[in-house]
């Protein structure tokens, strides 16, 4: 059967970002007619798009999804939309007004434009944040969102409900993907909200003490970025609509285990140092039930945590080497 991607025109909001750039790379393998990317480089970069920025199939529009005229220009004529542009969870907390404008206002405008321009399907990047501290582990999609305490999680839940209501009112097809903890090359390394993995990799490079705040028992479900991109492609190709899917690995890893794995793949004998927790983390556990995505999208993660950490480490060390050589 021919791929729905072949010959299609596809818009990716936030396509210069971490996950979006991998989605573009995977889409390009199936010969789309056009891929339009809109990104304001708030976090994304030209470097993330290096492998495809000169591809004539790709049209990059530097701009903001809050710019309605520009957004309409991007949506017009497209068949499919991946909506990935968003602020990070801490950025939403730091500036809820901007969080509202980007995550809710612009998403609402986009949904309206998708109806107006008869988009065949929207693939919406949601988040495991919608669960807050979940009721069940592994967490199925049927767990309720009432434990979420963050503005970001509230905005993602609202986005899911927005598309649900637009499906009901206007027949706009969509799928929401609730990513768990995504990692891999191109993750943010020097922004304000650098992830703990990168800080620990700096310790491996410089011989510093890797710090764990709290007792290290908080857990996450790590999923490699290329697997997340594959889930996006599967969600577009599948007949599924009006559904939310967890995208994780169904493997629970504590912070302490994560550090051990990261040190082990780098043959490092560094010892962690524990510090008192500096903030209260209301979400102490994450573990995705991914049976629904397996059953309805044919999605199974393919990269183990160890293999993913090896890829992340070598990418990061190369990047640092290149920076010092400059
Ligand atoms: N990375 C994760 O662990 C994770 C987990 C759950 C959900 N998500 C969601 O997945 C999606 C992609 O996340 P990511 O990790 O690639 O983040 P990212 O920050 O790398 O990508 C988002 C992109 O959107 C762009 N953007 C932000 N505001 C914009 C605006 N107003 N106009 C135009 N572009 C704008 C940024 O420049 C960036 O390139 C987001 O919706 C995010 O909320 C990510």
CATH fold, domain 9-182+224-247, is Rossmann fold (3.40.50)
**Cα four-point dihedral sign 20, 26, 29, 32:** negative
Structural contact between residues 177 and 292, judged by C-beta atoms closer than 8 angstroms: no
Contacts of 267 (CB under 8 A, 6+ apart): none
Q: Which residue has the tokens 């397996």?
A: 294
**Domain coordinates of the chain in residue numbers?**
9-182+224-247, 184-220+252-284+303-325
Distance 264 CA to ligand 1 centre (A): 30
Distance 36 CA to ligand 1 centre (A): 16
13-65: pLDDT as tens digits: 999 999 999 999 999 999 999 999 999 999 999 999 999 999 999 999 999 99
- Predicted confidence (pLDDT) at residue 92 exceeds the cutoff of 80: yes
Give the nearest ligand 1 atom to 85 CA. Answer: 24
Distance 41 CA to ligand 1 centre (A): 10
242-281: pLDDT as tens digits: 999 999 999 999 999 999 999 999 999 999 999 998 776 6
Mean pLDDT of the chain: 96
CATH fold, domain 184-220+252-284+303-325, is UDP-galactose 4-epimerase; domain 1 (3.90.25)
Distance between CA atoms of 237 and 50, rounded to whole angstroms?
A: 26
Contacts of 116 (CB under 8 A, 6+ apart): 75
For ligand 1, mutation pick of 37, 41, 60, 85 (most atoms within 8 Å of CB): 85
The confidence score (pLDDT) of residue 192 equals 55
CA-nearest residue for atom 43, ligand 1, is: 86
- Predicted confidence (pLDDT) at residue 148 exceeds the cutoff of 60: yes
Kind of pairing, strands 253-254 and 219-220?
Answer: antiparallel
Give the nearest ligand 1 atom to 17 CA. Answer: 39
How far apart, in Å, are the Cα atoms of 300 and each of 29, 68, 248?
Answer: 20, 37, 9
Distance 42 CA to ligand 1 centre (A): 9
């Amino acid at each position: 059967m021919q791929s729905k991607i072949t010959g299609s025109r596809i818009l990716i909001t936030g396509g210069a970002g971490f996950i979006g750039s991998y989605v573009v790379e995977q889409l390009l393998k199936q010969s789309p007619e056009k891929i339009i990317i809109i990104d304001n480089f708030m976090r994304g970069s030209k470097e993330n798009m290096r492998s495809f920025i000169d591809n004539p199939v790709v049209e990059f529009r530097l701009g903001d999804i809050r710019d309605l005229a520009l957004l309409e220009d991007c949506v017009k004529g497209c068949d499919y939309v991946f909506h990935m542009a968003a602020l990070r969870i801490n950025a939403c907390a730091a500036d809820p007004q901007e969080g509202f404008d980007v995550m809710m206002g612009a998403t609402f405008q986009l949904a309206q434009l998708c109806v107006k321009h008869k988009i065949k399907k929207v693939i919406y990047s949601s988040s495991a944040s919608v669960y807050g501290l979940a009721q069940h582990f592994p967490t199925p999609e049927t767990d309720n969102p009432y434990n979420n305490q963050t503005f970001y999680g509230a905005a993602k839940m609202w986005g899911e409900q927005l598309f649900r209501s637009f499906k009901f009112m206007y027949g706009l097809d969509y799928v929401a993907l609730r990513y768990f903890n995504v990692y891999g090359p191109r993750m943010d390394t020097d922004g304000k909200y650098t992830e703990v993995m990168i800080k620990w990799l700096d310790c491996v490079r410089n011989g510093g003490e890797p710090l764990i705040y709290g007792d290290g028992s908080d857990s996450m479900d790590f999923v490699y970025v290329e697997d997340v991109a594959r889930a996006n492609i599967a969600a577009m190709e599948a007949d599924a609509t009006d559904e939310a899917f967890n995208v994780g690995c169904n493997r629970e890893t504590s912070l302490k285990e994560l550090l051990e794995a990261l040190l082990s793949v780098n043959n490092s004998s560094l010892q962690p140092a524990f510090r008192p927790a500096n903030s209260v983390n209301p979400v102490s556990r994450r573990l995705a039930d991914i049976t629904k995505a397996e059953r309805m999208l044919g999605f199974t993660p393919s990269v183990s945590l160890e293999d993913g950490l090896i890829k992340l480490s070598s990418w990061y060390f190369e990047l640092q080497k290149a920076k010092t050589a400059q």
